[in-house]
Chains A and B, each alone.
Chain A
Amino acid sequence: MTQENISGAAPSLARLVQELNRLPGIGPKSAQRLAYYIIRLPDDEAYAIADAVTSVKQNIVFCDECQNLTDTSPCQVCSDPRRDRSIICVVEDPLDVLAMERTRSFRGLYHVLHGVISPINGIGPDQLRLKELFTRLGRLEVEEMVVATNPTLEGEATAMYIRRHQGREDLRITHLARGLPVGGSLEYTDETTLTRAFQGRQEI
């Protein structure tokens, strides 16, 4: 969206709309609504948003260990002595760590790849944090690696690549269970998922 598109708006407002419009999922109309919402906010709340954006850009770094985004390296998880250091969970994205932590069912360490191998988009192993993972596996006394990439074609390809290249014979490599989602429907489930759900059936 250009400033000409919103003729009549003050230049500073037009600039804010333009910047908000850059965000993913924010179209021109949403950008206008957000901009007018920000204008109507009390000063301290509006400045808090601006300060949060500035602060995150100034302070966020990659954790030297797990490659997750953090204010200090090593991050809270990696520096927590209560975490189980015998198991490491490999995820695609920092948001996946948040999802895992919400479950409170995993107390081990993480490694964030920051993407998946996507041959069609020209993203190969060198564009991910795989070298850091393999170095870490050689250094840590990890007994199990849970490869928790998404169950998509590219996620599976990444998991296979990790398994092929991790270089440790004594490491137990697992992935998350495949099957039916809570609230899902058998009728609409694809054959691969249903087959895997059968394979992973459990006693009740």
Chain B
Amino acid sequence: MAPPKTYRSETVILSYTPLDEADLLVTMYTKDRGKVRAVGKGARRSTSKLVGHLEPLTVVNMSLINGRSMDIISQAEVIQSFSSLKEDLTGISKGLYLAEMIDGFGSENSPSPHLYQLMIDTLTVLQADSSLEMPLRFFEFHLLQVSGLMPELYFCVECRNELEPDAHQFSPNVGGTLCLDCSPEDAHLRPLSLRALKVLRLIERSGILEASKLNISANLSGELKSLLSTTVKYWLGKEIHSNSFLERLHNETLPKV
């Protein structure tokens, strides 16, 4: 059966680039179709009915028309604009970091409602308090989980023995945690503290609200950030551009705008 000519989808806008004179090429993640790239005809004109509905980090009810090479956006209606998140530079930067990861891991014609919901939940928590770091760690961990790349946290990936409550090692290359007795030659091998392992296990089994309330030391936060962003980068096979701007903001001690 031929696919329908038009379809509707709830979607979160990830990014866009200018196309031709006044069009936009929009990258979005839909609830029921996965990643979609579609053209917003005339969307750069100030009088276009699409203006304001296609901004990144906006949840939109979208009508699209199947095109020969690219789908065309026929209608867009904002469901959730996350306007408070977008009034804060840190909030915008964190939101764009999530969008870049979804763009990297999401596939076309491969829907993942869990990934979609993860994005919405994380943006919602960040909108309430954009200074939180734990929502990003929760997102990174569950992004790996939803993508079938969840690191092993309970057994050594080499000897398969149950992990003792002790310091261990970690490598995305071999799939997770290793005991100290197993040290394969691996450039990605790094130490993993017991406290970091405990937090990762808690992130695995808790919801985003519970995980976001965790109050951990700056050192432990730094260890988790480095471990998870390195793992995401390893599986993505490229740098996450928005991470460097986020790091820059994080390192600045200036007052919040």
A-B pairs under 8 A by CB, number: 76
Q: Cβ of B257 and Cβ of A119 under 8 Å apart?
A: no
Q: C-beta contact mask, A175-195 vs B, less than 8 Å → 1, else 0?
A: 000000111110011111101
Rounded to whole angstroms, the CA-CA distance of A195 and B248 in the bound complex is: 32
Give the residue name and chain of the B residue nearest to A187 (CB).
Answer: B49
- B195 interface residue (CB < 8 Å to A): no
Smallest CB separation, A159 vs chain B (Å):
9
A180 to chain B, nearest CB (A): 9
Binds A, one of B33-41, B51-59, B158-166, B225-233: B51-59
Minimum CB–CB distance from A197 to chain B (whole Å) comes to 11
What are the residues of chain A within 8 A of B47 when measuring CB–CB?
181-185
Closest CB-CB distance, B248 to chain A, in whole Å?
Answer: 7
Residues from chain A with Cβ under 8 Å of B92 in the complex = 153, 156-157, 160
Contacting pair A164 B244 (CB below 8 A) = no
Q: A152: shortest Cβ distance to chain B, in Å? A: 6
Cβ–Cβ < 8 Å partners of A181 in chain B = 46-47, 51
Q: Which one of B21, B52, B99, B242 contacts A190 once the chains associate, using CB atoms below 8 Å?
A: B52
Top 8 nearest A-B pairs (CB, nearest first) are: A190-B52, A119-B242, A188-B49, A122-B241, A119-B245, A181-B46, A160-B89, A183-B47
Query: Can you name 25 A-B residue pairings with CB atoms under 8 Å?
Result: A25-B20, A25-B21, A119-B93, A119-B244, A120-B96, A120-B100, A120-B103, A124-B244, A152-B55, A153-B56, A153-B57, A153-B92, A153-B96, A156-B86, A160-B257, A181-B46, A181-B51, A185-B49, A188-B49, A190-B51, A190-B52, A190-B78, A190-B81, A191-B83, A192-B83
Interface residues of B (CB under 8 A from A): 15, 20-21, 46-47, 49, 51-53, 55-57, 78, 81, 83, 86, 88-89, 92-93, 96-97, 99-100, 103, 239, 241-242, 244-246, 248, 254, 257
